[in-house]
């Protein structure tokens, strides 16, 4: 009687060169330091769903780290008048933002009753305190000196936040790129205090209008503008998804860090990025 061998033909031979001895070689886990990453999820309750809450927020912080890596490099390219490499970086940022937005839909599987089983274990900790998210907001131009008080307990971090507050945002860099191409921009904008919130300016809008009306002549600036619109729009979508998820889980309760919760998140939606890139659309 003929027997059937379900083994893939030549499977052993094909796998013969597979590395199996890592006594003196670096493995996948070694390279990624998985021992540290995967041992950093410590539930403070016995509730099953606290693991979801921890992993979502830790993974989000890793994605934010990559956003900062890309945006910082993009700003350097733009300030050096080397725009093209920044396009790939900003496209990547937009894709990362999509991942962050999607993460809220995973967290929304946490029901109000489930969250209340471990919410008290969070103490005064809150997503509002995420310094990486604050650094992203600063890098995109949403500067607010009052938010720094949250970090005063850590001298090194507080200094890092102070430095970031005073650095030009990616929009400041883009406006200087307009000037370098001969487009007139008011000196008060070019020499402004970068630690202050950006205020819309007519000369900046006119410069961007020139770019959009002469795309062939200013293709690189036009491409930069659209990349900025992409990430500004995605950041607003992230904010909205955050607010919607919080409302779904805790309603209008006060936030764990003392904020007004959903109401605070709703007000954040009124803070727009790159205002002239939106207002010019009405005038085209």
Residue ranges for the binding site? 53-57, 115, 119, 242, 256
- In sequence order, the 6+-apart residues with CB closer than 8 A to the CB of 277 are 208, 225, 228, 229, 232
Structure tokens at 105: 């839909």
**Residue 40: burial class (beta carbons within 10 Å; 0-12, 13-18, 19+):** exposed
CA distance 164 to 52: 31
**Residue 57: burial class (beta carbons within 10 Å; 0-12, 13-18, 19+):** middle
CA distance 35 to 82: 40
Q: C-alpha distances in angstroms, 177 versus 76, 174, 211, 215, 225?
A: 12, 5, 12, 15, 11
Radius of gyration of the chain measured on its C-alpha atoms: 24
Residues annotated as binding site for heme? 242
3-state secondary structure of 20: coil
Residues annotated as binding site for substrate? 53-57, 115, 119, 256
Q: Are 85 and 77 in contact (CB under 8 A)?
A: yes
């Amino acid at each position: 009687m003929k027997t059937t061998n379900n083994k893939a033909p030549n499977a052993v031979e094909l796998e013969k060169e597979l590395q199996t001895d890592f006594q003196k070689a670096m493995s996948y886990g070694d390279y990624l330091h998985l021992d540290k990453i995967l041992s950093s999820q410590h539930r403070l309750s016995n509730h099953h769903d606290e693991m979801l809450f921890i992993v979502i927020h830790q993974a989000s912080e890793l994605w934010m780290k990559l956003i900062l890596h890309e945006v910082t490099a993009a700003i350097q390219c733009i300030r050096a008048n080397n725009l093209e490499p920044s396009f790939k970086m900003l496209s990547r940022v937009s894709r990362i933002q999509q991942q962050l937005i999607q993460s809220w839909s995973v967290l929304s599987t946490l029901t109000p009753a489930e969250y209340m089983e471990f919410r008290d274990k969070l103490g005064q900790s809150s997503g509002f305190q995420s310094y990486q998210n604050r650094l992203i907001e600063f890098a995109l131009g949403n500067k607010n000196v009052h938010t720094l008080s949250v970090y005063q307990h850590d001298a090194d971090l507080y200094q890092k936040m102070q430095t970031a507050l005073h650095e030009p945002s990616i929009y400041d860099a883009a406006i200087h790129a307009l000037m370098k191409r001969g487009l007139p921009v008011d000196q008060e904008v070019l020499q402004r205090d970068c630690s202050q919130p950006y205020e819309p300016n007519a000369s900046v809008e006119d410069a961007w209008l020139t770019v959009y009306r002469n795309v062939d002549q200013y293709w690189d600036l036009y491409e930069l503008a659209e990349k900025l619109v992409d990430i500004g729009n995605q950041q607003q979508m992230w904010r909205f998804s955050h607010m919607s998820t919080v409302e779904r889980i805790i309603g209008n309760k006060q936030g764990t860090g003392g904020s007004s919760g959903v109401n605070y998140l709703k007000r954040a939606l009124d803070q727009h990025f790159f205002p002239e890139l939106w207002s010019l659309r009405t005038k085209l």
